[in-house]
Amino acid sequence: MHISEGILSGQILGIGASITLAGTFIGLKDLKFEDYPKVSLLSSAFFVASLIHIPIGPTSTHLVLNGLVGIILGWKSFPSILLALFLQAILFQFGGLTSLGVNTANMAIPAVISYYLFRPFLKKNYFFSGFLSGFFSIIFSCFLVAFSLYFTEKYFINLAKTIFIAHIPVSIVEGIITGFILTFLNKTKKEIIWGEK
């Protein structure tokens, strides 16, 4: 789901960079020293999940785990995802530096929304809340990627539809994986989800 260099208009790049700057500022303001290991762990999970991808035009399909990042980190998802995407851009040329703001916003906005939508129900059912978080985050990220492409050039509409359709099975898999991870963490390492007691 990385959007490559040279695809998006300057206006979309500017909007994406502004949103990412604001979100990262809020996330860093909320970041405490004891959060560093958790943020680093989730940033690494996001980084690794996104490494294996199938190209679709100027973007790609792959696992993302932004729902998992979001439901645990909230606003701290912005710096976590920004760091992972930055490393992917400079190490593997996935996405790019000019599109880094848009790519981060496309992944982090659904992550933060998932935090507010699904975290309140986490203790009632870890798997179901995780599934919804993973599923929603991919679907909404696809919508934002499609939106970014469409408002750059109208002829990207067919590509935007392809991206959306290609990620429907990914969103289901992502939901299942997120549900299982949260259920496992609840049984083995609750402090990753809820912080130090």
> Does pTM top 0.75 for this prediction?
yes
Residue 36 sits at the vertex; the CA angle it makes with 32 and 41, to the nearest 5 degrees, is 145
Under a CB-based contact definition with an 8 Å cutoff, are residues 47 and 87 in contact? yes
Calpha distance 186→168 (Å, rounded): 27
The whole-number pLDDT of residue 102 equals 96
Average pLDDT across each block of 10 residues of the chain; the chain has 197 residues. List them in order. Answer: 83 96 95 92 90 62 88 97 93 87 96 97 95 96 89 79 81 93 94 80
The whole-number pLDDT of residue 60 equals 59
Under a CB-based contact definition with an 8 Å cutoff, are residues 99 and 15 in contact? no
Using DSSP, state whether 9 is helix, strand or coil: coil
Calpha distance 79→87 (Å, rounded): 12
From the centroid of its chain, how far is CA 82?
9
The whole-number pLDDT of residue 62 equals 76
The whole-number pLDDT of residue 58 equals 55
The whole-number pLDDT of residue 55 equals 62
Calpha distance 19→16 (Å, rounded): 5
Under a CB-based contact definition with an 8 Å cutoff, are residues 134 and 40 in contact? no
* Domain definitions of the chain by residue range: 10-194
- The CATH code of domain 10-194 reads 1.10.1760.20
Calpha distance 2→90 (Å, rounded): 13
The whole-number pLDDT of residue 141 equals 93
